[in-house]
A and B are shown apart, each in its own frame.
Chain A
């Protein structure tokens, strides 16, 4: 069964550093998303992406965040200057039939900012 994959599984970085989280969505999916989950809290939407454009973004997704589809398979989330409060699990998701339809999540990248 096709799966969303994410690398790395765990990233430790110092405050102020840039990080890039990588995702490979399911191959025939066209819609891509990033979510995050701070430990003990609910899953929160960051951004949706389709046709090389951001479709929607949350208040969390400020100028420090960016997304890119650099090639036909990868989807990345960049955090330019990490803060302590960026420490969370970051999940990538993808969907096939449209922005409002079932989304399938990757295993996540645990980001720890020290």
Chain B
């Protein structure tokens, strides 16, 4: 099983659509979780951290289910500017190491 596994994509959606990304991770002891976005050939940019209670930032909602080792990201009212690759990221050791493990990413294309 891959350490961090994501929907393969690509997702092609119209503007205004709601889109959901899923991710699973293999290490049950993982400490912290994030969603990053990456535009073509650019650096990963932090979108949001994911907390056990779930958290929301504007049109973006992240959920974590530790029992199922599952993370999700929901984007409401998609904009053209949301087109990017979305990376599910896990820190397995917390403050003991700092290593982030990245998923392969799911590509999103929002069309007019």
Contact = CB atoms under 8 A, between A and B. Distances in A.
A103 B98 CA distance: 9
A42 B43 contact: no
B99 interface: yes
Interface stretch (B11-19, B21-29, B62-70, B88-96): B88-96
B104 A42 contact: yes
Q: Is the interface of A mostly helix, strand, loop or mixed?
A: strand
Interface of A: 31, 33, 35, 42-45, 48, 50, 55-56, 58, 89, 91, 95, 98-108
B48 to A, nearest CB: 9
A31 B94 CA distance: 13
A95 B102 CA distance: 17
A91 B87 CA distance: 15
B32 A101 contact: yes
B94 A99 contact: yes
A20 B31 CA distance: 32
B44 A105 contact: yes
A88 to B, nearest CB: 12
B31 A100 contact: yes
A106 B94 contact: no
A43 B43 CA distance: 10
20 contacts: A33-B100, A35-B100, A42-B87, A43-B38, A43-B87, A44-B102, A45-B101, A55-B97, A56-B96, A91-B44, A99-B94, A99-B95, A99-B96, A100-B31, A100-B93, A100-B97, A101-B95, A102-B46, A103-B46, A105-B45
